Amino acid sequence: MEGIHVIEGEVRELIRRQRLDPASDRDVLQGLVDDVVRDYEERSLHGGLAPLGDRDAATRSVLDAVAGLGPLQQYLDDPTIEEIWINEPARVFVARSGVPELTPTILTEEQVKTLVERMLKPSGRRVDLSSPFVDAALPDGSRLHVAIPDVTRQQWLVNIRKFVVRAHTLDDLVSMGSMPQQAARFLSAAIASGLNVLVSGGTQAGKTTMLNCLASAIPSHERVVSCEEVFELKLPLRDWAALQCRQASLEGTGEIPLRRLVKEALRMRPSRVIVGEVRQEESLDLLIALNSGLPGMCTIHANSAREAVIKMCTLPLLAGSNVSSTFVVPTVASAIDVVVHVVLERDGRRRVREIVALPGRAEGDVVELSDLFVSRGRSLERGDGFPPHVEQFERAGFDVNELLGSHG
């Protein structure tokens, strides 16, 4: 370790002298580190310096320290790891297939703060006493969340949710066993026909991945505008405008919340609007847009399709006392067409547990649901329901009876 620290110090000094950017001058940096390691090894042969041992490991460690995220870089590079979090400097966890494990990595408090600063630098976002929470996207698409005292008890809490994309289309989800081919064909047709789709599920259930896969079925001529807290979506679209929220400045001004983005998106000539996740009053603006005939999709945290619909009926009430259930409930019934509920199983597999349709009717405060696909055991099978807007399917060239077959 002593040798690595010496090499790292020399490399950092050379970076300062040559005014290199470790992020963009990676090839130059690789050559520089190789030269410094080679020079160190030659000097160590003459005594006075500790031998390196594994040259490749030393080179990789120095590169991670000066251009990557130091001790965390190995976990970011590991494709089997989905999430990394720090509860305290000596307790760094990772998750593989949804299963958490404590790593042997031990950091110092100063290392944690330095790593957070380095991760936030590309986004221009900050975390301090006036703004003790921060959400940001890393250059590779991973999502960073940090909370600091006095909101936390004592330590900085850091969470990195890696953007591990194993599926890009609905067919990819079929091949992974997340849902059957019939369900994928129906969802593809529903998107192409302009139906409004709500994706629900718990944390790490694969909601964003499902949203990306659904977006692959959007016709290529459409213009899509997406709104997110932090950039996470990677849509395979030709005409796509992406918007993300902005934190308030040090003076407490300039914040741009998700609700503002949804309103602005409607002024950008969208053929379809996508909201990464609805949590608060922005759900009202999305509902109004969908109810006016603009197709769209979004995700929502919920434990079932039914709970997702109930939540969509209550979140808009946060927009103000002048918004009532008598308006929201029938609007949800008519604006949302299909709910896709995804889950993370105990074995780490992500799959679709149910797909329901909203026929457009509500009885009191209860929105009617129709089961399109239901879970029976470990499989997703055809239910006895049918989707609304059969005429939209027909205009897009689809036969609903052919897609769904007879009742289950």
Bridge partners (DSSP) listed for residue 125: none
CATH code for the domain in which residue 209 is found = 3.40.50.300
Q: Are residues 387 and 297 in the same domain?
A: yes
**128-141: average pLDDT:** 86
Of 43, 68, 93, the one marking the end of a domain is 68
Of 68, 99, 118, the one marking the end of a domain is 68
Pairing of β 379-382 and β 99-102? unpaired
Report angle CA 174, 214, 240 to the nearest 5 degrees. Answer: 140
Q: Are residues 277 and 202 in the same domain?
A: yes
CATH code for the domain in which residue 92 is found = 3.30.450.90
Q: Are residues 132 and 90 in the same domain?
A: yes
What is the distance between the terminal CA atoms of the chain, rounded to a whole angstrom?
Answer: 65
pTM here is 0.81
Of 241, 207, 181, 186, which is closest to residue 404 (Cα–Cα)? 186
Q: Are residues 394 and 292 in the same domain?
A: yes
**59-67: average pLDDT:** 77
With a CB cutoff of 8 Å and minimum separation 6, the contacts of 167 are 173, 176, 178, 209, 212, 213
Of 288, 273, 208, which is closest to residue 243 (Cα–Cα)? 273
**Residue 189 reports pLDDT greater than 70:** yes
**99-108: average pLDDT:** 93
Q: Are residues 205 and 254 in the same domain?
A: yes
Amino acid occupying residue 23: A
**Residue 407 reports pLDDT greater than 80:** no
The boundaries of the domain holding residue 357 are 170-404
Q: Are residues 331 and 187 in the same domain?
A: yes
Q: Are residues 121 and 215 in the same domain?
A: no
Q: Are residues 160 and 187 in the same domain?
A: no
Q: Are residues 215 and 322 in the same domain?
A: yes
Mean predicted lDDT score pLDDT of the chain: 89
Determine the distance from the C-alpha atom of residue 66 to the mean position of all C-alpha atoms in its chain, rounded to a whole number: 27
DSSP state of 153: S
Question: How much of the chain, in percent, has pLDDT values that exceed 70?
Answer: 98
Of 272, 271, 339, which is closest to residue 311 (Cα–Cα)? 339
Do 32 and 63 contact (CB within 8 A), yes or no? Answer: no
Q: Per mean pLDDT, which range of 18-32, 119-133, 182-196, 212-226 is the poorest?
A: 18-32
The predicted structure's pLDDT at residue 165: 67
Report residue 406's pLDDT band, with 50, 70 and 90 as the boundaries. low
Q: Are residues 175 and 308 in the same domain?
A: yes
Q: What is the pLDDT of residues 315-371, one digit of tens each?
A: 999 988 888 998 999 999 999 999 999 998 888 789 999 999 999 999 988 999 999
Q: Are residues 180 and 153 in the same domain?
A: no
At 197, give phi and psi (nearest 5°).
-120, 135
Report residue 388's pLDDT band, with 50, 70 and 90 as the boundaries. very high
The predicted structure's pLDDT at residue 236: 82
**Residue 86 reports pLDDT greater than 60:** yes
**Residue 408 reports pLDDT greater than 50:** no
Number of domains the chain is built from: 3
